[in-house]
């Protein structure tokens, strides 16, 4: 039994390390434009002590600006902000016309995309801090909520694990 547990732990660690290697390969193969976007995110997120968090989220969502539009959600921008929610935040009715205008703003303006994502993240973080969670758990749950909302715990947990892997890859590469 002890050998089985040890072998399962080794397999789990190797799969986890492999996925970090996968992200490291992806990060190494970014183009100049993506690296400029990463510098922009790094500079702005450092002011809020969220450098690696936002670099990882932006890489997961848009590969640092390579894919700024997702019609399946629909979402847009570096951090893939949901268009209907952003339209409502801006005081617009979430119809097709307004969502197209909002998508254009998020795609063309990285600063607006960053501020929209920061606003969402800080709202979620503060929500969990008010409920008594420590900083580490509030950060974790804010990442989960960023992708899946507060109610879809299972999808958020998977997203959080991916973000942590990307953060580890970023740190190993010296970003």
**19-57 pLDDT, tens digit each:** 899 999 999 999 999 999 999 999 999 999 999 999 999
Q: Please determine, for residue 118, whether its predicted confidence score (pLDDT) is greater than 60.
A: yes
pLDDT of residue 15: 47
Count how many Cα atoms sit within 13 Å of the Cα of residue 86 in the half-sphere of its side chain: 30
Please state the pTM of the whole predicted model.
Answer: 0.86
Model pLDDT for residues 81-109, shown as the tens digit of each residue = 999 999 999 999 999 999 999 999 999 99
Q: In whole angstroms, how far apart are CA 138 and each of 41, 48, 123, 143, 163?
A: 22, 15, 11, 9, 15
Distance of CA 151 to the CA centre of its chain: 18
Helices (H) and strands (E) in the chain, counts: 8, 3
Distance of CA 115 to the CA centre of its chain: 13
Model pLDDT for residues 53-74, shown as the tens digit of each residue = 999 999 999 999 999 999 998 9
Instruction: Supply φ then ψ for residue 70, to 5 degrees.
Output: -130, 110
Model pLDDT for residues 138-171, shown as the tens digit of each residue = 999 999 999 887 667 777 899 999 999 999 999 9
Q: Please determine, for residue 124, whether its predicted confidence score (pLDDT) is greater than 60.
A: yes
Q: Which runs of consecutive H residues, i.e. helices, occur in 63-152?
A: 83-89, 96-108, 110-130, 135-148
Q: Residue 99 in 3-state DSSP?
A: helix
């Amino acid at each position: 039994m002890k050998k089985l547990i040890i072998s399962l732990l080794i397999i789990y660690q190797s799969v986890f390390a492999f996925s970090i290697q996968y992200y490291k390969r992806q990060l190494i193969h970014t183009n100049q434009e993506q690296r400029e976007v990463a510098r922009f995110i790094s500079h702005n997120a450092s002011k809020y002590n969220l450098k690696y968090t936002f670099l990882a989220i932006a890489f997961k969502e848009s590969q640092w600006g390579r894919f700024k539009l997702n019609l399946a959600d629909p979402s847009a921008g570096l951090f893939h902000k949901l268009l209907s929610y952003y339209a409502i935040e801006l005081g617009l009715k979430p119809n097709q016309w307004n969502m197209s205008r909002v998508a254009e703003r998020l795609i063309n303006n990285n600063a607006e995309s960053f501020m929209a994502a920061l606003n969402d993240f800080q709202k979620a973080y503060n929500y969990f801090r008010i409920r008594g969670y420590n900083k580490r758990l509030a950060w974790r749950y804010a990442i989960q909520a960023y992708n899946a909302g507060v109610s879809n715990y299972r999808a958020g947990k998977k997203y959080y694990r991916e973000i942590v892997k990307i953060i580890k890859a970023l740190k190993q590469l010296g970003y």
